Amino acid sequence: MSDIGNARLKFYCDEHRCISCDGCSVACAEAHELPANINRRKVVTMNEGIFGLEYSLSIACMHCTDAPCEQVCPTDCFYIREDGIVLHDKDKCIGCAYCLYACPFGAPQFPQDGAFSIKGVMDKCTMCAGGPEETNSDKERELYGQNRIAEGKVPVCAAMCSTKALLVGDSAEISDIYRERVLSIGHGAKTQPYGWSTAYGSKI
Amino acid sequence: MANTWGYGAMTNSLGDIQNAKAIIIFGANPAVNHPVGFQHFLKAKERNNAKIIVIDPVFTKTAAKADHYCQVRPGTDIPFMYGMLHLIFKNGWHDEKFISDRVYGMEDVMEEAKKWNPKKVEDVTGVPADQLIQVTTLYARSTPGTLIWAMGLTQHSNGSSNTRLAPILQLALGNMGVEGGGTNILRGHDNVQGATDMACLSDTLPGYYGLSDGAWQYFASSWGVDYEWLSGRFKSKEWMGKKGFTLARWWAGVLDGKDGNDQIHNAGTNLKNLFVMGNGITSIAQQAKVKEGLDNLDMIVLCDPFVNEAAILTDKQDDVFILPAATQFETSGSVTATNRSVQWRNKVVEPMYESKTDHDIMFELAKRLGFYDEYTAGMKIKENKQDYTWPEDATDEIARIIKTIGLTGWTAKRIKSHNENWHMFDQISGRGYGKMKGEYYGLPWPAWTETHGGSPLLYNINRSVAEGGMGFRNRFGLEHDGQDLLAGAGSAPKGSVQKDGYPEITAVNIEEVLGIKLTADEKKRIGKNWKVDTSNIIAEKCMEQGIAPYGNAKARAKVWTFPDQIPMHREPLHSPRSDLAKEYPSFDDKENHFRVDTKYISKQTEQDWSKDFPINLVTGRLVNMNGAGMENRASKYLAALTPEMFCSINPDLAGKYGIRDGSMMWIHSPEGTKIKVKAKYSHSVPEDRIFMPFHFAGHFQGEDLSHKYPKGTKPYAIGESANTVTNYGYDIVTQIPETKGGLCRIEFA
Amino acid sequence: MLANTYERLKTQIGRRSFMKMAAVATAAGATNAFANDGVTRAATQEEVKNPFPGSTSVKTICTACSVGCGIIAEVQNGVWVRQEVAQDHPISLGGHCCKGADMIDMVRSEVRLKHPMVKEAGKWKRLSWDDALDRIATKLKASHETAGPDSAMFLGSAKMSTEQAYYFRKFAAMYGTNNIDHQARI
């Protein structure tokens, strides 16, 4: 296992498993008490209704390593944590939406209520890591939502994913999970390690 | 289904689907309706290379994950399944030994199947012959295969035939009683199985005991009340034994046959008072009739956590009561999942505002109606208590009485221990670890005794009865037409003293079948048969000898008490193919069907419906809602996902009527009703049909009823109810409405 | 798999992130050092583990569909404050669809019914439970005597607990009618 300092926290959505049930997006909205129609996370379905071509993916802020939003922000409100989570300071943000121009995923959201209301100026996925305010303070929860990472909990969207399509965590860990999924193909519904029966037959 | 092999329930479990090599899904959309359950389908596909075959009139989210998708015309599942059986029998893919040992009446099915060659099936169902051959070959050769269905099979005038032919398909392939096989019906609401087991039904007492005099006597004594008192509550003993009105057609009971409505037979009165508890009656067929029924009642009582939109639909001006009921998070109790397993639902918070729990409301009314003491007596019997504790004593009362489906093992204490230890169970087999060893998660019924670990897989003869094994139930006598109905030689569950078939166990035959001698004391205490043996001696002795108390019989492909002894194709009452409606006509009209005369053939032949109503109408669910949707539309996040009622329509069909994506359209039904909804272009429906969700209410035939909501109760989203335009038509046995195969006409609005 | 991630997140990120106040700006291109230093009070153990001090967790079951997913409800001072993840539930493994993920709103939705109401002369009026139940019982009793028990229809629910469903059936039986049904018939 790699040290946490060496791998970044990432999301991954397995399109073979995503059934666009919106469990992730509603879990997110509910956990952080977002205003309706602020979509920190959104499920997108492509080619709807066409056999063999329809697929769905759940999209949020991808917490880029070289985050374009952070590059273009005129007030320098973004900061990137040691573990790779991209966060921003709503007290500095002016809501100009330049980050929306820069973002390849449409992640930044702008609540209608204005700068001083429920979720502030620009709002986006925090990977459930809150913001720069005091951890688990009322102000942090008001502006950024829950800080589950501080509690040692998995971000709520992936934790509640109905089919475990959406994965989150240390990127090395995610590729381990996905690799295991790929290698398990065709080996039956067993919870045992894969490959042993193939290699040694029924002797073990 | 119960008429095929004894119990009408999911035979395996969601986790067990991971063991399947092939999954065939008829008229069900688990990716939308049971998303978390669908992860087990996806894992079967991933780890087991299981092929998923979806048969559905609409391309669903489930179909998007399928390997094969067959777009059938609504109401033609029987021809499709016969087409499969045709190929299976022709190619000898059926399991001969299984059929001869464990199935009765398959010969008639074989005869009928001969008629359904792939070309003919193509003509009737619209599924290409090649595709039928392809999926049948795949399914028949990939065993074990599991068969899934839901409302897409049941909501037809011949739905009860659909749900018999699906099990027959599985029986033919020997896919029953094995891991990864089975017929897995996916139930809708969280406790459909539990509420059905407890008989919130007009045709039986709890536990499917029926309404016979003997059943009433058993319940009277088990409830601790005098039988004569109980029968005195009814109009007469005769009416005690008669099936009542159903959810589908209670409104006919109000309308009393006036103005051309169907005639009723209801003890000389029409319905005057309606008492509804947690039932979204705005999602039942024929809303215009529902409204008429509501308008003509003396009193309507609606108990729900949210406003029941029946209160909004009706124009009744007086005596409409809305009582705030607590949610299930504000009370405790048990809930039965789709796979017959029970879970304890703990109370999270006290009832909010002034709301009261459902049982408190019933208790308060019982006090005022003067039968509270009789009502609650059953809870005090077990330990001869002065007073009762809700819900534990009610749970134990049920466990004490309901033998038919083996609820003896469902004591409150055991169910709670499963909740506390839910981390101690395997996700695929449900087996317990550590201190839960020997038990399956949720003690799937039958759990015959207070120590039985549950039966995760019905009709599995490869396990002993004590470990959840069993044959088919002996429910229909010992023989019919000279043929033995008991199971064949060697097909008894593992570890049984009887190696062959045997009848259900009674006080008379117990010594003979089990090969034991009862003591004098046991003889004194034992009940008449396993269903009413409150001493539980029969079940205990059966476990020791490896015998299933309900016997070991053959499943029957032929049900001689039904209008169609073997399932036959009959076109929907409103068929787009009038030529086929002549070839496969519906049933004769049925008098006094759950107290109301019901039209079949006369409706079908009233006119050529397809002329004026050329488009098939299919309704279904959305992932963010269930039922009438009132609780979901009361959540702003769920409402935001689909803020408006819509109709999915193929762009090519829409183009013919000048309907644009996002514009409004009218949908007219043969009953003369109409709704106005937003058109949503979609390729999920072909050009001859439209699809609508049935979760909306609050608009009626184009009118916005917002002003009728009490202040502060209007949900975040309202819209037309699709059921305003669903057609007349009810199942011949169960009276489930035919909402999955009607006709309509559309126009630009 | 996910459990591993969970363990790692718990043991490593959990503690580490609490020191993020000092460690936000790294070589990865973040130029904006964290500016607000006035807030680096040491957190109590309780806060690290639980932002709702003194809360309890209740294991219960989702009320949406018949899959029967597990739910963990965090309750503080009698209020359901947060819906947690039942990662160890054998059927759902912590998963929820959108309905299940929002079960908390079943309880706290603002449009819930708050008190009994009756429609009189076309207007909704508030009334007390006692009044409501008395009036309903009086009508039910009167119809039982004049028109007979079969003048009532009872529609129960697949949303009730098994015990409540059983008592609903018993209620209809003791009222004296088989006019009772629920959603299995749709």
Q: What are the tokens at B279?
A: 């039932």
Please check whether residues C102 and C122 belong to one and the same domain: no
Q: With an 8 Å Cβ cutoff, is A160 touching chain B?
A: no
Residue among B36, B334, B425 minimizing CB distance to C163: B334
pLDDT of residue C17: 37
Q: Determine whether the interchain pair A189/B65 forms a contact, defined as Cβ–Cβ distance below 8 Å.
A: no
A18-49 as b/e: b if 16+ CB within 10 A: bbbbbbbbbbbbbbbebbeebbbbbbeeeebb
- Name all chains with 3 or more CB-CB pairs below 8 Å to chain C: A, B
pLDDT tens by residue, B367-397: 999 999 999 999 998 888 899 999 999 999 9
Q: With an 8 Å Cβ cutoff, is B683 touching chain A?
A: yes
Q: How far apart are CA A180 and CA A174, in angstroms?
A: 10
Residue C87 with chain A: CB contacts under 8 Å:
154, 159
Delimiting residues of CATH 2.40.40.20 domain(s) in chain B: 599-748
Please check whether residues C131 and C175 belong to one and the same domain: yes
Q: How far apart are CA C1 and CA B154, in angstroms?
A: 39
Q: Determine whether the interchain pair C83/A31 forms a contact, defined as Cβ–Cβ distance below 8 Å.
A: yes
Q: Determine whether the interchain pair C26/A135 forms a contact, defined as Cβ–Cβ distance below 8 Å.
A: no
pLDDT tens by residue, B290-303: 999 999 999 999 99
**A34-43, A98-107, C36-45, range with the lowest pLDDT:** C36-45
Q: How many Cβ pairs closer than 8 A exist between chain A and B?
A: 87
Q: What is the least distance, in Å, from the CA of B459 to any CA of chain A?
A: 22
pLDDT tens by residue, B669-727: 999 999 999 999 999 999 999 999 999 999 999 999 999 999 999 999 999 999 999 99
Nearest to A15 by CA among A38, A40, A47: A47
pLDDT of residue B385: 87
Q: What is the least distance, in Å, from the CA of A14 to any CA of chain B?
A: 12
Is B651's pLDDT higher than 80? yes
Residue among B69, B640, B682 minimizing CB distance to A36: B640
Q: Is residue C175 one of the residues assigned to a domain?
A: yes
C111, β-bridge pairs: none
Q: Helix, strand, coil: what percent of chain C each, to 5?
A: 40, 20, 40
Regarding the domain delimited by B599-748, which CATH topology (the fold level of the hierarchy) does it fall under?
Answer: Barwin-like endoglucanases (2.40.40)
pLDDT tens by residue, B521-570: 999 999 999 999 999 999 999 999 999 999 999 999 999 999 999 999 99
Q: Is residue C25 one of the residues assigned to a domain?
A: yes
Is B577's pLDDT higher than 50? yes
B681, β-bridge pairs: B649
Residue among C33, C34, C96 minimizing CB distance to A160: C96
pLDDT of residue B389: 95
What are the backbone dihedrals phi and psi of residue B18, each rounded to the nearest 5 degrees, phi first?
Answer: -60, -20
Residue C114: count other Cβ atoms within 10 Å of its Cβ.
16
Q: How far apart are CA C91 and CA B91, in angstroms?
A: 38
**Positions of chain C with pLDDT under 70:** 1-49, 186
Q: What are the tokens at B738?
A: 């035919």
Per-residue DSSP letters for B614-639? -EEEEEE--TT--TT-HHHHTSHHHH
Residue A187 with chain B: CB contacts under 8 Å:
47
pLDDT tens by residue, B411-451: 999 999 999 999 999 989 999 999 999 999 999 999 999 99
Please check whether residues C93 and C130 belong to one and the same domain: no
β-pairing, B590-593 with B145-149? unpaired
Contact present, A13 and A58 (Cβ < 8 Å): yes
Q: With an 8 Å Cβ cutoff, is A22 touching chain C?
A: yes
Query: How many domains are there within chain C?
Result: 3
Q: With an 8 Å Cβ cutoff, is A129 touching chain C?
A: yes
Residues B399-418: what's their mean pLDDT? 96
Is A171's pLDDT higher than 50? yes
Output the 3-class SS for C107-132. Answer: HHCCCCCCCCEEEECCEEEECCHHHH
The CATH number of whichever domain residue A49 belongs to comes to 3.30.70.20
Q: How far apart are CA A54 and CA C177, in angstroms?
A: 51
Q: Helix, strand, coil: what percent of chain B each, to 5?
A: 35, 15, 50
Residues A47-62: what's their mean pLDDT? 95
B506, β-bridge pairs: B529
How long a stretch of residues is chain B? 749
Residue A129: helix, strand or coil by DSSP? strand
C125, β-bridge pairs: C118
Residue A60: helix, strand or coil by DSSP? strand
Residues B469-485: what's their mean pLDDT? 90
Q: Determine whether the interchain pair B36/C91 forms a contact, defined as Cβ–Cβ distance below 8 Å.
A: yes
Q: What is the least distance, in Å, from the CA of B653 to any CA of chain A?
A: 15
Distances (CA, A) of B443 to A157, B37, B176, C69: 31, 18, 20, 16
Q: What range does the domain containing C5 cover?
A: 1-35
User: Which residues have a Cβ under 8 Å from the Cβ of A59 and sit 6 or more positions away?
Assistant: A13, A41, A42, A43, A44, A105, A106, A107
- Would you call the peptide bond into B446 cis, given omega within 30 degrees of 0 as the criterion? yes
Distances (CA, A) of A31 to A17, A148, B381: 23, 10, 46
Delimiting residues of CATH 3.40.228.10 domain(s) in chain B: 2-185
Taking CA–CA distances from C131, the nearest residue in chain B reads B321
Taking CA–CA distances from A84, the nearest residue in chain C reads C28
Q: Determine whether the interchain pair B394/C163 forms a contact, defined as Cβ–Cβ distance below 8 Å.
A: yes
Taking CA–CA distances from B18, the nearest residue in chain A reads A189
- DSSP 8-state assignment for residue C9: I
**A113-122, B208-217, B220-229, B647-656, range with the lowest pLDDT:** A113-122
Q: What is the mean pLDDT of chain B?
A: 94
Contact present, A120 and A93 (Cβ < 8 Å): yes
Q: May I ask the CATH class of domain B2-185?
A: alpha beta
Q: Determine whether the interchain pair A26/B47 forms a contact, defined as Cβ–Cβ distance below 8 Å.
A: no
Q: Determine whether the interchain pair A184/B46 forms a contact, defined as Cβ–Cβ distance below 8 Å.
A: yes
Residue among B235, B298, B626 minimizing CB distance to C99: B626
pLDDT of residue B4: 85
Residue B684 with chain A: CB contacts under 8 Å:
48-49
- DSSP 8-state assignment for residue C10: I
Per-residue DSSP letters for B117-133? -HHHHHHHH---HHHHH
Please check whether residues C61 and C103 belong to one and the same domain: yes
Is A123's pLDDT higher than 80? yes
Q: How far apart are CA B457 and CA B462, in angstroms?
A: 10
CA torsion sign, B409 to B415 to B420 to B423?
Answer: positive
Taking CA–CA distances from B734, the nearest residue in chain C reads C185
Q: Determine whether the interchain pair A1/C8 forms a contact, defined as Cβ–Cβ distance below 8 Å.
A: yes
Residue among C63, C102, C113 minimizing CB distance to B304: C113
B223-238 as b/e: b if 16+ CB within 10 A: bebebeebbebbbeee
Residue A55 with chain B: CB contacts under 8 Å:
64
Of the pLDDT bands very low, low, confident and very high (cuts 50, 70, 90), residue B45 is: very high
Which of A:24-83 have CB within 8 Å of C?
24-27, 30-31, 65-67, 70-71, 76-83
Residue among A26, A37, A191 minimizing CB distance to B638: A26
Residue B336 with chain C: CB contacts under 8 Å:
162
Q: What is the mean pLDDT of chain A?
A: 86
pLDDT of residue A115: 53
User: Which residues have a Cβ under 8 Å from the Cβ of B196 and sit 6 or more positions away?
Assistant: C158, C182, C184
The CATH number of whichever domain residue C104 belongs to comes to 2.20.25.90
Residue A29: helix, strand or coil by DSSP? helix
Q: How far apart are CA B299 and CA A155, in angstroms?
A: 50
- Report which secondary-structure segment, H or E, holds B200: none
Q: How far apart are CA B661 and CA B630, in angstroms?
A: 27
Residue B25: helix, strand or coil by DSSP? strand
Residue B319 with chain C: CB contacts under 8 Å:
118-120, 139
Taking CA–CA distances from B63, the nearest residue in chain A reads A51
Contact present, B320 and B314 (Cβ < 8 Å): yes
Q: How far apart are CA B209 and CA B216, in angstroms?
A: 9
Q: How far apart are CA C6 and CA C1, in angstroms?
A: 9
Q: Which amino acid is at B730?
A: Y
Q: Is residue C149 one of the residues assigned to a domain?
A: yes
**A117-121, A183-187, B126-130, range with the lowest pLDDT:** A117-121
pTM to 2 decimal places: 0.92
Q: What is the least distance, in Å, from the CA of A52 to any CA of chain B?
A: 7
Residue among B199, B211, B715 minimizing CB distance to C111: B715
Please check whether residues C105 and C71 belong to one and the same domain: yes
Of the pLDDT bands very low, low, confident and very high (cuts 50, 70, 90), residue A138 is: confident
Contact present, B31 and B191 (Cβ < 8 Å): no
Q: With an 8 Å Cβ cutoff, is A7 touching chain C?
A: no
